[in-house]
Amino acid sequence: MVTSTPVSSFALKFPNTVMQFSNLPLRIRPSRLFRPFHSSVAAAKTPDVFANSLRKTLEAHRSTNRSRLIRKIYPLEDPAGLWRPEIPPESRADYQPPVEPTLPNLEYSPGTSDPVSKKRKKKRKSHVDISSHQSLINRHGEDAIRPAGTGRPTQSPWLRNLELPRANAEITLDAEIRALEQYLTPRAQEQDRVEKLRAEIASLLKAVVPHAPRVIGSHCTGLVLAHSDLDFILPYEDLPRSLERDRRPSPTRPQIQDAHIRLLRQVQRALQHTDTFGDHVKLSDKRNPSLSARHQPTGLLLQFYCGEGIPAITEYLQDYQAEYPALRPLYAVTRTLLEARDLFGSPQASIGPDALAMLIVAFLKMNHGRFPGPNTLGDQFLALLQFYGTQIDLQSIGVAVDPPGLFSADMLPVAPDADEPAHQRGQRSLISAKRTAAAKRNFIVAQRLCIQDPTHYMNDLGRSCTRTSELQSAFAAAHQQLRHLCDEWVDDGNIKSSSVLATTLQANFDGLEIVRNQLAYL
């Protein structure tokens, strides 16, 4: 078939001109003078089109799209040498300069840079190394209660001048727990020395902080022991939160955290210029910044925090102790048990004083009225060890104090209700954090101890304890050993052991005696 090519009107009118243009090289021909109408079929722009097969066309397009797709994959661990830039807090979009208190202009030492210009440190790695949790402050100080063994004998100083009842093992255990609590109670001379130390700190920081530091912690709650840390709160006025309104800004927002760190750094420099502290002062990089200082003459550890006032948990613990007199002796014996296994305190990646007290309070509340009558501390201690050691899984179940109970993902309602109680919303949030961590394979966070704060339902008091399985194993082993000793006890005068408690604790108190002597004779 012959096809004809249409001829433009310009070519008919000016044939000579067209002939001249045809003799020109192809690259300089005036193509604008010619507009093709019926050109041949152009080649397809994409070779992925099959005219006779829709299936092949779709598969080809999908293959092309997959080859062009870029997926961003986050590794579980950062590769070696990777550096991630961090945005300083003052460069953030929501940054607001805090209202700073009137502080004296302290000169920075040549080797110290301005804390405002420093970038935030990187978050800690997900894996837990116990040695990394033990700060230099705690390494400088001698542990008051240490595990027996390796040249340290098992000691029972609470049995001095004590005539134990021999009616049965539980009553003997009750008497030993009370004697241990009395032995660990600070003496009058020790209390006077701590009071003098508090006055010295207030005088030393008078020109540094806008308000005098106030004592908090166990020295206020009534759970103080002879080797308890001395905790201070540095009052910091947060003006936006002082306004009376329904929704107030968070007390841990970045600008307030930065202001707290600046105040703690000034306290750090003031303490470092004294002979009693020197280089034994360290500012932590935790979620809630704090300052640790080891008092060299006495060996006591001082902790400084920033806040608006006395924490609400102080009043709660005071009320709980008045309601449950067994709280203090149970706290003393349980803490001694954990200290003798290096399982107490956040430096050991374990449970802290407030969390341990609340753990015992939750048990006492859940067993209210179960142990009537006197001389039941032995039975309560055995039940406490059994409950937290073998009857529940502390890695997956949370403990609530007010109202008392247990909570987990299976115990909470599937869908949240509009009228859901505040404590239940807090439990849902705490469990959600554990489930999210498990989904990201961060099992350290997913399995850490969870104790709901009765003063703030969204707060987890047990977050510092990542050695949950070791904690629970210590409770289970202590219960098994105590239960065996009580079952083997005979009341016919053939006493197999002079002490029921010492065999289980396996503790050495030489460090505690050193601390007490330093406090008494300075």
Domains of the chain: 129-242+249-411+421-520 (1.10.1410.10)
Enter the tokens of residue 317.
Answer: 């613990």
pTM value is 0.74
Low-confidence ranges of the chain (pLDDT < 50): 1-5, 18, 26-44, 100-141, 492
Task: Give residue 478's pLDDT.
Answer: 97
Task: Give residue 37's pLDDT.
Answer: 47
Q: Using one digit for the tens of pLDDT, what is the confidence trace for 259-294?
A: 899 999 999 999 999 989 988 999 986 677 899 999
Enter the tokens of residue 17.
Answer: 């001109």
Count of C-beta atoms within a 10 Å radius of residue 210: 13
Task: Give residue 69's pLDDT.
Answer: 62
Q: Decide: 180 and 336 in contact? Cβ < 8 Å.
A: yes
Q: Calculate the CA dihedral of residues 457, 460, 461, 463 and round it to 10 degrees.
A: 180
Task: Give residue 257's pLDDT.
Answer: 87
Task: Give residue 385's pLDDT.
Answer: 98
Q: What is the largest CA-CA distance in the chain?
A: 139
Q: Decide: 263 and 279 in contact? Cβ < 8 Å.
A: no
Enter the tokens of residue 54.
Answer: 């829709």
Task: Give residue 216's pLDDT.
Answer: 94
Task: Give residue 49's pLDDT.
Answer: 85
215-227: buried (b, 16+ CB within 10 Å) or exposed (e) per residue? Answer: bbbbbbbebbbbb
